[in-house]
Chain A
């Protein structure tokens, strides 16, 4: 599998996890965290992984992954904001209609 295909697959999985299961999302974040610890303790692992997907340096792999990760975190925040705006609308609308009922 090419690097691009791998990344795309990872993105899609991330996307799905984000929007569906809170537990899976948390597991995913936990995995990222543990992975981070591993990379710090054993840096050569990053080089090995990088080579497996055709990248020369481990640091480069980290850069690419971090960029993707940040992009998706940003995106998930955006989705969350949209969701909150929808909720706000529902609440304000209900309040509006309730207020009108109280007045003659």
Chain B
């Protein structure tokens, strides 16, 4: 597969939002991968208690910080708001722990632009899920099925943090779920807004580091809980 390329103009208007919480160990390397592509990086420090903030000091990126920890969904929305205020045309969401591969970003944005879409989602089940444990794979796929039943959207990976959003579509995709249910919320809003979207194969790398910090089975319970309550008492 040929490497997708973005023009300098496109790259300059592509803001990659990386919500971060206590990722001092991994964040520099994650960020470097994205910076090397000539994209604009926005790191949102969601009230980290470690040296995440300090570790990013000398890098050519935008550093934002929440005074208290609000959750990944909230951090993403803050980053998106900031990106839009700085003239972003394309906003990419990207995980801080090194699970995502930076070189997937140009491919997503290229598709977003060329096919005039509102949102492009990455899918590890269409692409590669390196070293994924069987348990996690099953859990995620169950989550995908549940998502299909609840929101009626046909996707293969509903909890992938790698997405490209067109600036114009951002208002329709406003995140109000501060914590882990934001992924489902985005998909639900995408459907409700009748947005044009596509899913592309991307890579997710599971290392022993990310496995420890990754979304646990408890997180899955929280998502279902928040989804159900939100539906009963909007």
Using a CB–CB distance below 8 Å, which chain A residues touch chain B? Answer: 79, 85-86, 88-89, 92-93, 95-97, 99-100, 103
Using a CB–CB distance below 8 Å, which chain B residues touch chain A? Answer: 44, 62-68, 70, 74, 77-78, 81-82, 85, 176, 178, 233
Give the CA-CA distance A43 to B223 in the complex, in Å.
Answer: 48
Give the CA-CA distance A93 to B175 in the complex, in Å.
Answer: 13
Which A residue's beta carbon lies closest to that of B78? A93
Give the CA-CA distance A31 to B8 in the complex, in Å.
Answer: 69
Name the distance in Å between A94's Cβ and chain B's nearest Cβ.
Answer: 10
Give the CA-CA distance A85 to B66 in the complex, in Å.
Answer: 14
Give the CA-CA distance A93 to B78 in the complex, in Å.
Answer: 6
19 contacts across the A-B interface (CB closer than 8 A): A88-B70, A89-B70, A89-B178, A92-B66, A92-B68, A92-B70, A92-B74, A93-B77, A93-B81, A96-B44, A96-B64, A96-B65, A97-B64, A97-B82, A97-B85, A99-B64, A100-B63, A100-B82, A103-B63
Q: Are A97 and B74 also in contact (CB < 8 A) when A85-B178, A86-B176, A89-B178 are?
A: no
Query: Which residues of B lie under 8 Å from residue A92 when comparing CB positions?
Result: 66-68, 70, 74
Query: Which residues of A lie under 8 Å from residue B63 when comparing CB positions?
Result: 100, 103
Contact B85–A93 (Cβ < 8 Å): no
Give the CA-CA distance A99 to B53 in the complex, in Å.
Answer: 14
Query: Which residues of B lie under 8 Å from residue A89 when comparing CB positions?
Result: 70, 74, 178
Query: Which residues of B lie under 8 Å from residue A100 when comparing CB positions?
Result: 62-64, 82
Query: Which residues of B lie under 8 Å from residue A93 when comparing CB positions?
Result: 66, 74, 77-78, 81
Name the distance in Å between A87's Cβ and chain B's nearest Cβ.
Answer: 12
